[in-house]
Amino acid sequence: MKKIGFLTSGGDCQGLNATMRGVAKHLFEHYGSDLKVYGFKDGYKGLINNEYDVLTSRDFSGILNLGGTILGTSRVPFKELKNEEGMPRVKKMKETYNLLGLDCLVVLGGNGTHKTANLLSEEGLNVVTLPKTIDNDIWGTDMTFGFHSALGVATDVIDRLHSTATSHSRIFIAEIMGHKAGWLTLYAGVAGGVEVILLPEIPYNIDKVVEVLEARRRAQKKFSILAVAEGAISQEEAKMSKKEFRQARENMKYSNISYRIADEIAARSDLEVRVTIPGHVQRGGEPSAYDRVLSTRLGAKAAELIINKKYGYMVALKDNKIVPVPLDEVAGKLKTVPLDSEVITAAREIGISFGD
């Protein structure tokens, strides 16, 4: 009997169910009734507390286009597991794995999740992972599942802002998720045809931003839209040490960077500014057709690795091929937008400002 455990960890996104379906369908095709699947509840917590449901092939039917995760998820911060106090939890995860006699643990998650998965792999567990996140910031894969779906939502938000911005001759800021990476903001900004894109990778100068907005007004353009990454930073902030930056942000009187930018624009001009923060809406709902295909490809490949007993890998999209990448190469690295990205170049060439 082949015994496989599944868990989804960290923030959810579109495509989690589609991906698990891809893994499970391939495994059931291969092993038939000789397969037992355990679905751990709420991420690593389920593995720590030995909480799971036994899943049959039926549980993976009808979930291709279902948002969220049928297993539930949670965040168990890696830094808490690495110290002495965290080790009992790692021990408990290993105990559950051994108690159930698992052959492999299938982990769907983002950066933090991959650090923990690598730790478990180093502790001797058989692990195969799949790259999930709307942020697209996992090293080793060209694209994560969830990104394309979230991009559709973020672009729709910007599209809808266009009509109301035009009617009122206003400046609109759309704050886009993405944590410390600007992928989602860059792509949504270009897809939505905005005038200004502010990314964590390109610190902005607020005076430059205002100059762009004023120039548009002088050119009789009635409105402007800015796509601002939730992790955007100013040029002054970029010069700070990590500690200084943390303190500055703790003392910031705004809940979100977009509100600060809105106030800064208003203080330097008589432009009327509004802020829209779609937030978790970007992660909700069904996966796009592209993500369903990507999820299925990644899932089927993960099952292939398991069948071939090739453990300690993340399945990734590289040059439009699905390939295994060693987990220890992925863990602890962040994939941010390279400054020489062709998308940035194209955006600049058509006159989009990055506020620098």
- Residue number, nearest CB to ligand F6P: 177
Between strands 321-326 and 273-276, the pairing is: unpaired
Choices 88-96, 131-139, 262-270, 326-334 (CB under 6 A): range interacting with ligand F6P: 131-139
DSSP-derived letter for residue 157 is H
Does residue 131 interact with ligand F6P by CB under 6 A?
no
Tell me how many residues contact ligand F6P (CB under 6 A). Answer: 10
Selected from 8, 129, 133, 185, the binder of ligand F6P by CB under 6 A is: 133
- Of the candidate residues 24, 102, 125, 134, the single one contacting ligand F6P (CB under 6 A): 134
Q: Which is nearer to ligand F6P, 46 or 131 (CB)?
A: 131
- Residue 159 appears among annotated catalytic residues: no
Could you say whether residue 178 binds ligand F6P (CB under 6 A)? Answer: yes
Name residue, tokens 């802002």.
Answer: 161
Name the one range near ligand F6P by CB under 6 A: 127-135, 162-170, 261-269, 346-354. 127-135
Among 27, 177, 197, 271, binds ligand F6P (CB under 6 A): 177
179 sits near ligand F6P (criterion: CB under 6 A): yes
H helix or E strand, kind and range, residue 227 = strand 224-229
By beta-carbon proximity to ligand F6P, the closer residue of 11 and 43 is: 11
First-to-last CA distance in the chain? 59
Strand partners, 52: 40
Interatomic CA distance for residues 75 and 11, integer angstroms: 7
| Interface stretch with ligand F6P, choices 114-122, 130-138, 157-165, 218-226 (CB under 6 A) | 130-138
Nearer to ligand F6P, 260 or 283 (CB): 283
Query: Out of 7, 8, 11, 106, which residue is the one contacting ligand F6P (CB under 6 A)?
Result: 11
- Annotate each residue in 278-297 with x if it binds ligand F6P (CB under 6 A) or - if it does not, as one string: -----x--------------
Catalytic residue among 12, 34, 103, 135: 135
* DSSP string covering 282-343: GG-SPPPHHHHHHHHHHHHHHHHHHHTT--SEEEEEETTEEEEEEHHHHTT-B----TT-HH
- Count of Cβ atoms closer than 10 Å to residue 230 Cβ: 20
Nearer CB in complex with ligand F6P: 11/131:
11
Stretch that binds ligand F6P, among 93-101, 132-140, 189-197, 264-272 (CB under 6 A): 132-140
Contact between 233 and ligand F6P per CB under 6 A: no
Radius of gyration over alpha carbons of the chain, in Å? Answer: 22
| Shortest separation between residue 180's beta carbon and ligand F6P, angstroms | 8
Closest CA to 312 of 331, 333, 334, 299: 331
Structure tokens at 37: 């699947």
Question: Contact between 110 and ligand F6P (CB under 6 A)?
Answer: yes
Contact (CB, 8 A) for 279 and 177 = yes
User: Exactly one of 42, 135, 175, 195 binds ligand F6P (CB under 6 A); which one?
Assistant: 135
Enter the tokens of residue 48. 């720590």
- Only one of the segments 128-136, 205-213, 235-243, 263-271 lies at the binding site for ligand F6P (rule: CB under 6 A); that segment is 128-136
- Binding of residue 148 to ligand F6P (CB under 6 A): no
| Residue 352 touches ligand F6P, criterion: CB under 6 A | no
Closest C-alpha to 171, from 270, 263, 277, 271: 271
Query: 319: buried, middle or exposed (CB in 10 Å: 19+, 13-18, 0-12)?
Result: exposed
Q: Which residues bind ligand F6P (CB under 6 A)?
A: 11, 110, 133-135, 177-179, 230, 283
Catalytic residue numbers?
Answer: 135
